[in-house]
Each structure stands twice: as structure tokens, then as C-alpha cells.
Amino acid sequence: MVLKAFALGLCALFLFAAPAAAHEVKRPTGPLTLDQRLAHQRAIVRHDQHVVGFFGNHRWMLARYNPYRPSATRELQFHQAQLRWTTVELLKTQRAIERRNQRRNQRLLAARLRHSSPVAAIRHVFGSYWQQAVAVARCESGLSVWAQNGQYLGLFQMGSSERSIYGHGSTPLAQAIAAHRYFVASGHDWSPWQCKPW
């Protein structure tokens, strides 16, 4: 009898302490950054997992004879629902952070490439065809973005008509991108260029 009273006392203590514990995961004030949101969601998930795990290890708290069963059931259901919802939101936040990091990395790469050498820009843009592209550009322009032969300009000596269609620019990256568009449109061969990579 004493043991049962002690167990019920523990149950009551947990149920009254749990709502207060739920408020321990406080939301930071003001608008949250993605990283702050992720940290907050992880804290909620950990707390909810702890509460659900507690009830899993103390099933007697949900037994019919327990006078605190309705409160225990409500508490368990609340944390189960919150855990499901927060887990979904956490996955959304992780995906948003991944997208942000990809955009950041792309911006950093683009910034580096804007100031890179012609060979580095061509290698980045042409992928597996980069060695062929470097050979063509070396033959056409000596790898100079300022090379000019009449209407033909840049690394790949593209004419005015081609530049109006595929673009142009003053950097190795811009000229490599324009030449790659022309290269793809021509069927991935070098027929539009007088110089060939072989």
C-alpha cells in the first residue's frame, strides 16, 4: 500500500512538473535565423522524445487503476503530436539550410571564377570537354579575353551574330559560358570553330 502511494506520488510529481518542463524549451525572442530555428526545433524534439520515452518506460502511469491516467494520457498525446509536427518542420528547416548553403557556395564559386584564369573558367564550364575547349581557345585566341580579329572577339573568337544569341562578356567565365552554349547548340562538336582540339 505504501509502495502504491509512493508510485502515485511520483506520477503526480511528474505530471505537474512536465508542463513546466515543456516550457524549458523557450523560443528565442525576435525573428529566428535558420540555424537558430534548427537548434530550437532539435531541443523540442529531444524534450518530446524524453517525455515519450518516460511514458514508454512507465506504462503503469497509463493504467486504468491510476487516478492520474487522464492527465498522463493528455501529456503523452500532446508530446507525441508535437514530436511528429516538429520533426516534419525540422526536416523542412534542414532542407532550407542545405539550399542556403548551396546558394552560398555557388556565389563563392562564381566570385572566384570571375577573377580566375581562362583555363580555370573553361575547365569549370566545359566539364569533361574542358581539355578540348582549352585547346580550341588557345588556338583561336591564345587564351586572351581581349583577342580580336575583325568581328570575332574573345577566348573563342565568336562572331557578332553568335554573341547576340549566346552572349558575351569581358571575363573568362562569361566568355566560356557563351562558348559552351554555342558548343551545346552545335551538338557537342567543334564544327563552328576553325580551330579543332585534335
pLDDT tens track for 141-167: 999 999 999 999 999 999 999 999 999
* Average pLDDT, rounded, for the chain: 88
The predicted structure's pLDDT at residue 106: 86
Q: What number of CA atoms fall less than 13 Å from residue 173's CA on the CB side?
A: 9
Q: CA 23 to CA 49: how far, in whole Å? A: 15
Which of 69 and 15 is assigned the larger pLDDT?
69
Any long-range contacts for 123-131 (C-beta under 8 Å, 24+ apart)? 124/173, 124/176, 125/173, 125/176, 125/177, 125/179, 125/180, 126/176, 126/180, 126/183, 129/183, 129/188, 131/197
Q: Is a pLDDT exceeding 90 seen at residue 13? A: no
End-to-end CA distance of the chain: 95
Q: What is the mean pLDDT of residues 63-91?
A: 94
Q: What is the mean pLDDT of residues 5-12?
A: 50
The predicted structure's pLDDT at residue 25: 74
pLDDT tens track for 23-58: 457 777 789 999 999 999 999 999 999 999 999 999
C-beta separation of 34 from 93 below 8 A = yes
Domain with CATH 1.10.530 in the chain: 118-185
C-beta separation of 130 from 122 below 8 A = yes
Task: Provide the 8-state DSSP code for 28.
Answer: P
Which of 17 and 20 is assigned the larger pLDDT?
17
CATH number of 118-185: 1.10.530
C-beta separation of 8 from 66 below 8 A = yes
Residues of the chain with pLDDT > 90, as a percent, come to 73
Q: CA 187 to CA 80: how far, in whole Å? A: 57
Q: What is the mean pLDDT of residues 131-137?
A: 98
Q: What number of CA atoms fall less than 13 Å from residue 194's CA on the CB side?
A: 9
Scanning the structure block, which residue is given the C-alpha cell 503523452? Answer: 76
Q: Is a pLDDT exceeding 70 seen at residue 180? A: yes
